[in-house]
Amino acid sequence: MSIDRFSDTVRIAAEPAVIYAHLLDPQSYIGLSPLIVGVRDVRAADDGRSTAYVAVERFKLGPFHWDNMIRVTLTGEVPDARVVSDVVSPGAVRLKSVVDLAPTADGTTTLTETIETRSPALLRGFVVKQASSVQKSRLAELARRFSR
């Protein structure tokens, strides 16, 4: 099993509490993550402090598409400061995203997302390339959604 970690930071024109609430809503990820086209089976997780759901991740190749069903657990670990997403995808692929939110003096937020992927060696290149590309798109979309 290959393990990879990478991180990126963006400044967002909103307070941490607003971004935190947005990131804890599974519906927010439709269009936020460019591959996510649907969310279903949203429910409180067994631990009582997380939300579990199934996200529909769509991969396109010309006129064809493949819908990958991924299980996601969202946890607000630190109120208004940290959101963790644990993802279980087919093919023994696992992804953990930790989003840290830090307020700035001018009322904006510095958001840092650290991603760790675990995948079979055969899928490693594809998984890291997709996760990195999606991260960049997601952070840009978050900044756009909260632009003043």
Check: CB of residue 113 under 8 Å from CB of residue 98.
Answer: yes
Check: CB of residue 137 under 8 Å from CB of residue 3.
Answer: no
Domain layout of the chain by residue ranges:
2-145
Neighbours of 70 (CB within 10 A): 17
Say which amino acid occupies 38: G
pTM of the predicted model as reported, rounded to 2 decimal places? 0.91
Q: What is the pLDDT of residues 10-39, one digit of tens each?
A: 999 999 999 999 999 999 999 998 889 999
Q: What is the pLDDT of residues 107-147, one digit of tens each?
A: 999 999 999 999 999 999 999 999 999 999 999 999 999 98
Tokens of 127: 């998984």
2-145, what's its fold? Alpha-D-Glucose-1,6-Bisphosphate; Chain A, domain 4 (3.30.530)
CB burial class (10 A; 0-12, 13-18, 19+) of residue 39? middle
